[in-house]
Amino acid sequence: MKRIEVNTKTNNYNIIISNNFDSLQEHLSKVGMDNKKVCIITDDNVSKLYLDNLCNIISKITDELSYLVIPHGEANKNLDTINTIYKKMIEEKLDRESYLIALGGGVTGDMVGYASATYMRGNKFIQIPTTLLSQVDSSIGGKTGVDFDGYKNIIGAFHQPELVYINTSTLMTLPKKEISAGMGEVIKHGLIASKEYFNYIRANSSKIMNLDNEIMEQLIYESCVIKSKVVSMDEKEKGVRATLNFGHTIGHAVERLFDFNLLHGECVGLGMVSAAYLSYLLKQIDSSELDDIKACIQSFDLPIKIDKLNELDIYNELYHDKKTKNNELNFILLNGVGSCEIRDDLDKEDIMKAIKYIL
């Protein structure tokens, strides 16, 4: 078991990384859940796997336990599902001292976090992420949100959880494609923050894809450390947190143009190739580093090229990203592997070249 402390201006909390649920009850008690109203929210896939188990654990510390099963998938990450959650919260008479538990992947976590942020101007919530993507990325840092009108996460709030409990054994039930997709964010952590970690990922790609227990625990730990350091410094993304968007500027545009039919991690992989090429064009990484990055992304079965899109559509779509400030595009570029910088001064010509590179 490993523990990471996340300290933000608005809340301090622990990330627990374990390969079982044995210490979950103890950690829920520690944050104060005993005898409180608790509602578990999970989707119709994950509920079959872990809901009974979780209900058993939590019913040991409170009698006021309820749950809600929502439909799975990004297509349901919208305000209609949020309204369903609100109605359940009202029905169960939850208040500001009550807890929501998000059991599932990033879609569930983002939505439950948003419902918790906006119900009675904020109540408490716990993240129990069950996908690699949510374990290394979306469950940490308090970014919550839903899609609206075709725009990903354009409605949302910053709202920190009380606890993130990661049971790595839940990855065993995950389709391989979802492991690949999660690796998009893991590789990103190496690229922006630690060359050593990036090399560790490259060296262990087959063990990772086979979900080697020890390697996975270390991997998730390292990624959580990097992510939580960044969000502790800059909870509300006014500065350094933007570096976590490496690969996301073009990634989000591709994701939208494909109408969310590609996995987020696949789009981030493509976005990283594009951003790495842009870094290469500006002589911030050399060609062998660019090759290493592409090889690493490919070794996790993530695409490095995509067809069916044209470059101008992607370029125009960039301006619909919610990270545009006053129509200026912010790009995160590598400055060598393991380091990065935020740039808002790039030429359209170079950006177009970087887009073409993945087509």
Smaller CB separation from a copy of itself, 232 or 324: 324
Residue 187 contacts residue 272 (beta carbons within 8 Å): yes
> Does 31 participate in binding a copy of itself (rule CB under 8 A)?
no
Applying CB under 8 A, the site for a copy of itself has a residue count of 39
Tell me the C-alpha distance between 273 and 280, whole Å.
Answer: 10
> Which one of residues 6, 117, 193, 275 is an interface residue with a copy of itself (CB under 8 A)?
117
> Which one of residues 3, 96, 305, 356 is an interface residue with a copy of itself (CB under 8 A)?
96
> Does 143 participate in binding a copy of itself (rule CB under 8 A)?
yes
Residue 131 amino acid letter: T
CB 161: neighbour CB atoms within 10 A? 30
Residue 347 exposed, middle or buried by CB count within 10 Å (0-12, 13-18, 19+)? exposed
> Does 241 participate in binding a copy of itself (rule CB under 8 A)?
no
> Does 260 participate in binding a copy of itself (rule CB under 8 A)?
no
Active-site pick, 245, 256, 266, 289:
245
Residue with tokens 């350091």: 229
Q: Is 100 helix (H, G, I), strand (E, B) or coil?
A: strand
Tell which residue, 275, 263, 330, has the closest CA to residue 301.
263
Does residue 185 have a known ligand-binding role?
yes
Helix (H) or strand (E) holding 215, with range, is helix 213-233
Active-site pick, 241, 256, 266, 289:
241
Site string for a copy of itself, 41-80 (x = CB under 8 A): --------------------------------------x-
> Does 156 participate in binding a copy of itself (rule CB under 8 A)?
yes
Tell me the C-alpha distance between 229 and 227, whole Å.
Answer: 6
Smaller CB separation from a copy of itself, 144 or 167: 144
> Does 283 participate in binding a copy of itself (rule CB under 8 A)?
no
320: annotated active-site residue: no
> Does 119 participate in binding a copy of itself (rule CB under 8 A)?
yes
The angle formed by the CA atoms of residues 4, 127 and 25, to the nearest 5 degrees, is: 80
CB of 310 to a copy of itself, least distance (A): 22
CA distances from 2 to 14, 19, 45 (A): 10, 10, 27
Select the span of 51-59, 84-92, 212-220, 293-301 touching a copy of itself (CB under 8 A). 84-92
CB of 255 to a copy of itself, least distance (A): 17
> Which one of residues 3, 48, 60, 236 is an interface residue with a copy of itself (CB under 8 A)?
236
Tell me the C-alpha distance between 266 and 34, whole Å.
Answer: 40
Tell which residue, 337, 333, 340, 341, has the closest CA to residue 202.
337
Residue 138 contacts residue 114 (beta carbons within 8 Å): no
CB of 232 to a copy of itself, least distance (A): 16
185: annotated active-site residue: yes
CB of 104 to a copy of itself, least distance (A): 21
> Does 36 participate in binding a copy of itself (rule CB under 8 A)?
yes
Tokens in use for 337? 């592997």
96: annotated active-site residue: no
Does residue 173 have a known ligand-binding role?
yes
Does residue 10 have a known ligand-binding role?
no
Tokens in use for 294? 């592409």
Tell me the C-alpha distance between 142 and 151, whole Å.
Answer: 19
Tell me the C-alpha distance between 249 and 215, whole Å.
Answer: 30
CB of 30 to a copy of itself, least distance (A): 19
CB 226: neighbour CB atoms within 10 A? 21
227: annotated active-site residue: yes
Residues making up the annotated binding site for Zn(2+) are 185, 248, 264
Residues making up the annotated binding site for NAD(+) are 106-110, 130-131, 143, 152, 170-173
Residues that are catalytic = 121, 143, 185, 227, 237, 241, 245, 248, 252, 264
Residues making up the annotated binding site are 106-110, 130-131, 143, 152, 170-173, 185, 248, 264
